[in-house]
C-alpha cells in the first residue's frame, strides 16, 4: 500500500474526529440551552467510551505486542499522563491579554468571566491569539490524535474492514468512532459560553471544530512513527491509553460533577448512566 495513501486515510480519519466536535454546537440551532442532566449524561457517555476504548482496545493491543514485562507499555502510559498534565498546566498559565483568568478549553461557562481561552480568542478574531491558541491546543488535543493514529498501525493487514480499497483495522474503526463521540460534548462545552456571549450559531460550530484541528495532525504523526518503528508500538498504545484514561479522571468526570452540582443527586446518577451507556457502545471491542 502506498505510503501517501495511508497517510491521507489516517489524516481523513483524524479530520472526521475534529469535525465531530462541531456537532456539539449543532443543537443550539434549535434550542437555547441544554439541561444540566443532559450535559452530565453526555460527559458520562464520553467517559465510558474513552475508558472502554483505552482498556479493551489500546491496552490490549499494547499487551499483544509485548513479550515479558510490559516496560514499554507502562512507560507509554506514564508519558501520556505526563503530557496531559503538562498541557493542562500550560493552558492554565496562558495570558491572552484579557482581564479574565484563563482556563481549560474544556471548561463550561455560564456567561461569566471564566470563558475558555479559545472562546475568547475566537470571539475577538485576533489572528495572533488564534495562532497562539492553536499551538497550545496542539499539545492538548495531541493524545486524541495519537489514539487514532496508533489504532491504524495494522492498516493493510488481513482481517480488517474492507473500505475504499483499504483493509482498515477494526480497532481503528472503533477508535475513530470513539474519539468522534468523545468530541461531541467537548464541542457543546465550547458552545455554551459562546451562546452566552451572543455569537452566531455557525461561529460556535467553527470554534468547536477549530479546537480539535490538531487531532488529524497528531494522528498522522503517530501513525507514521509506529509504522516506521514497529518495536515502539507498545509505547504508542500505552501513551494513547494512559492519556485517555487520565483525561477522563481529571477532566471529564470533574466537569460532569461540576455541571450537575445543582441536580438533586449532584449529577451522579446521570453520570453513571451515561458511563454505562458508553461502555455498552464499545462492548464489541471485547470480541475483536
Mean pLDDT by runs of 10 across the 288 residues of the chain is: 81 92 85 77 86 86 82 91 81 55 41 48 59 60 84 74 79 87 79 73 83 86 83 85 88 86 87 90 71
122-155 per-position pLDDT tens digit: 655 556 655 665 565 666 677 788 889 988 888 8
Residues of the chain with pLDDT > 70, as a percent, come to 77
178-187 per-position pLDDT tens digit: 888 878 877 8
Cα–Cα distance measured from residue 65 to residue 59, given in angstroms and rounded to the nearest whole number: 10
pTM of the predicted protein model: 0.72
> So what's the pLDDT on residue 130?
58
> So what's the pLDDT on residue 78?
94
Among positive and negative, which fits the CA dihedral 89, 90, 91, 96?
positive
Split into its structural domains, the chain has a count of 1
Task: Give residue 275's region: left, alpha or beta (phi > 0; psi -120 to 50).
Answer: alpha
Residues spanned by the domain of 136: 3-287
Torsion angles phi and psi, residue 168, rounded to 5: -90, 130
Nearest Cα neighbor of 236 from 6, 62, 10 is: 62
Using alpha carbons only, what angle is made at residue 16 by residues 36 and 56, rounded to the nearest 5 degrees?
75
> So what's the pLDDT on residue 181?
84
Please state the three-class secondary structure of 70-112 as a single string: CHHHHHHHHHHHHHHHHHHHHHHCCCCCCCCCCCCCCCCCCCC
Amino acid at each position: 500500500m502506498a505510503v501517501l495513501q495511508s497517510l491521507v486515510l489516517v489524516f481523513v480519519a483524524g479530520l472526521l474526529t475534529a469535525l465531530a466536535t462541531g456537532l456539539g454546537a449543532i443543537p443550539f440551532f434549535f434550542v437555547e440551552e441544554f439541561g444540566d442532566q443532559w450535559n452530565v449524561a453526555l460527559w458520562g457517555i464520553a467517559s465510558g467510551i474513552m475508558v472502554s476504548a483505552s482498556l479493551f482496545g489500546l491496552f490490549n493491543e499494547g499487551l499483544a505486542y509485548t513479550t515479558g514485562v510490559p516496560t514499554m507499555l507502562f512507560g507509554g502510559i506514564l508519558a501520556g499522563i505526563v503530557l496531559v498534565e503538562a498541557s493542562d498546566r500550560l493552558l492554565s498559565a496562558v495570558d491572552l491579554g484579557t482581564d479574565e483568568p484563563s482556563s481549560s478549553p474544556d471548561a463550561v461557562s455560564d456567561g461569566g468571566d471564566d470563558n475558555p481561552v479559545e472562546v475568547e480568542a475566537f470571539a475577538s478574531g485576533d489572528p495572533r491569539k488564534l495562532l497562539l491558541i492553536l499551538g497550545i491546543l496542539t499539545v492538548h488535543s495531541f493524545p486524541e490524535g495519537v489514539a487514532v493514529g496508533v489504532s491504524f498501525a495494522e492498516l493493510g493487514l488481513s482481517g480488517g474492514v474492507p473500505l475504499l480499497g483499504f483493509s482498515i483495522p477494526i480497532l481503528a474503526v472503533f477508535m475513530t468512532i470513539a474519539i468522534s463521540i468523545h468530541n461531541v460534548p467537548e464541542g457543546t462545552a465550547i458552545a455554551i459560553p459562546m451562546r452566552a456571549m451572543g455569537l452566531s450559531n455557525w461561529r460556535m460550530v467553527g470554534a468547536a471544530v477549530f479546537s480539535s484541528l490538531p487531532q488529524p495532525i497528531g494522528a498522522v504523526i503517530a501513525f507514521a512513527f509506529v509504522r516506521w518503528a514497529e518495536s515502539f508500538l507498545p509505547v504508542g498504545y500505552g501513551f494513547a491509553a494512559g492519556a485517555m484514561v487520565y483525561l477522563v479522571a481529571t477532566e471529564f468526570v470533574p466537569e460532569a460533577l461540576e455541571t450537575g452540582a445543582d441536580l438533586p443527586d449532584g449529577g451522579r446518577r446521570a453520570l453513571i448512566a451515561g458511563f454505562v451507556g458508553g461502555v455498552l457502545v464499545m462492548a464489541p471491542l471485547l470480541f475483536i
